[in-house]
Amino acid sequence: MSGTSPSAATLYSRVEKVIPAIEWPVFADDIDAILRLKRERNAVILAHNYQTPEIFHCVADIVGDSLALARKAMEVEAEVIVLAGVHFMAETAKLLNPEKTVLIPDLGAGCSLADSITPEDVRLMRQRFPGVPVVTYVNTSAAVKAESDICCTSGNAKAVVESLGVPRVIMLPDEYLAQNIAAQTDVEIIAWKGHCEVHERFTPADIRELREAHPGVTVLAHPECPPEVVAEADFAGSTAAMSDYVGREKPARVVLITECSMSDNVSVGYPDIEFIRPCNLCPHMKRITLGNIRAALEENRHVVTIDPELAVRARLAVERMLAV
Ligand code: 13P
Ligand code: SF4
């Protein structure tokens, strides 16, 4: 955030369209405390696009999709990074900043994709498909990344797969992302059976019903959705790509087939666009609150640590991705 000493009182105007005035006093005290603690501790807050608007618009210093958070984590000069997002994002920030303190406000902020695969699973896939490179979605533990050749995000998966110059890759663990990328490339993709518990719940029928109820609506879907859902959408892309699409195309009516806070956060910048809001909540992202961000800074918790030997290998996979 820029400007001189913002406070909860001056920040409300940023979110007044998505947070009722009557709710604001609940947030104000924590916001002022977090702004003070960031200065005292030389800390920055990195927030994913699925964080609630009072976090995203009022206390975060850097916001974005998984790829942007990884890239920008490398440029951080502060001593402390608070990751307002899920655990794999905090691990990625730590991999790229081994000397800094990285805090995650709630250790339970996991991810169904990260939980769907273990390092042993990756080793077994390598045995089954000898010599085939392993492309691992960033939505995985550092231990799984350490077994991989290169990472990818939903924002660069096609480019990463094609950068390897091979006819066949193993792409873990999101089956739907793998299928959606396979539809865009000649590279053969061997997938795993992991799914995002938020995006797997959308159906093609949902989209058809939306189009009937809201004529002319532009449908943007995240590529973690099943391929049949992506096929019904006008565009599929990472959370940042969806946000960029709205800014570039300025559709009169739009629906974001993804997590609920996306529409809240993006709509703030486009008062003339009508956002249709069926969505699914990510229970992991929603574990992060102003209260536990404040506690994280006050009590220096929860410090993210990664075994150093494993971190070297996992960092390599992330750095290879960032070089693509
Ligand atoms: P993005 O990289 O598109 O922000 O996605 C992260 C995520 O967890 C989506 O469910
Ligand atoms: Fe994981 Fe899905 Fe939540 Fe993203 S939305 S953090 S992929 S469970």
At residue 68, the pLDDT reads: 95
Q: Which residue puts its alpha carbon closest to atom 6 of ligand 1? A: 66
CATH number for 171? 3.40.50.10800
- Based on the fold, state whether residues 63 and 44 are members of the same structural domain: yes
Asked if 79 and 87 count as a contact pair (C-beta separation under 8 A), the reply is no
Residue minimizing CA distance to atom 8 of ligand 2: 111
User: Which numbered ligand comes closest to the C-alpha of 194?
Assistant: 2
Asked whether 141 lines ligand 1 (CB < 6 A), one says no
Q: Is residue 14 part of a domain?
A: yes
Q: Is 144 in the pocket of ligand 2 (CB under 6 A)?
A: no
Residue 122 has a pLDDT of: 98
User: Which protein residue has the closest C-alpha to ligand 1 atom 3?
Assistant: 238
Q: Is 90 helix (H, G, I), strand (E, B) or coil?
A: helix
In this predicted structure, what is the pLDDT of residue 4? 61
Q: Pick from 195, 225, 244: which residue ends a domain? A: 195
- Domain-embedded: residue 311: no
Note whether 173 and 87 are same-domain residues.
no
In short, whether 174's Cβ falls inside 6 Å of ligand 2 is no
Sheet holding 101-103, edge to edge: 62-64, 43-48, 80-84, 101-103
In one letter, which amino acid is 171? Answer: M
Q: How far apart are CA 187 and CA 299, in angstroms?
A: 48
Kindly state if the Cβ of 86 falls inside 6 Å of ligand 2: yes
Same domain, 29 and 118: no
Together in a domain, 92 and 56: yes
In the reported structure, the alpha carbon of residue 261 is separated from the centroid of ligand 1 by a whole-number distance in angstroms of 12
In a domain, 324, yes or no: no
Among protein residues, the one whose CA lies closest to atom 7 of ligand 2? 196
Query: Is the CB of 174 within 6 Å of ligand 1?
Result: no
CA distance 174 to 157: 11
Please report the pLDDT score of residue 5 as a whole number.
Answer: 76
Asked if residue 177 belongs to a domain, the reply is: yes
Same domain, yes or no, for 222 and 291? no
58: phi then psi, degrees, rounded to nearest 5: -115, -30
**What is the pLDDT at residue 2?**
45
Q: What is the distance in A from the centroid of ligand 1 to the CA of 50? A: 8
Within 10 A of 113 (CB to CB), how many other CB atoms are there? 27
Do 266 and 211 lie in a common domain? yes
State whether 24 and 90 are in the same domain: yes
Among protein residues, the one whose CA lies closest to atom 3 of ligand 2: 282
181 lies in the same domain as 248: no
314 assigned to some structural domain = no
Query: How many angstroms separate the alpha carbon of residue 9 from the centre of ligand 1?
Result: 31
CA distance 4 to 308: 39
Ligand 1, atom 1: nearest CA belongs to which residue? 65
The answer to whether position 156 is within a domain reads yes
166 and 229 inside one domain: no
Asked if residue 269 and residue 238 are part of one domain, the reply reads yes
pLDDT along the chain (324 residues), means of 10: 74 95 96 98 98 98 95 94 98 96 98 98 98 98 98 97 98 98 98 98 97 98 98 98 98 98 96 94 98 98 97 98 97
Return the ligand 2 atom nearest residue 283 CA: 3
Q: Is the entire prediction scored with pTM above 0.85? A: yes
**292 CB within 6 A, ligand 1:** no
Domain count along the chain: 3
Question: Which value, in Å, is the radius of gyration of the alpha carbons in the chain?
Answer: 20
Q: Is residue 135 domain-resident?
A: yes
Same domain as 217, residue 184: no
Q: Decide whether any atom of ligand 2 lies within 6 Å of the 112 Cβ.
A: yes
Q: Is 322 a domain residue?
A: no
Ligand found nearest the CA of 70: 1
Same domain, 71 and 57: yes
Q: Could you list the residue range(s) of the whole structural domain that residue 209 is in?
A: 199-276
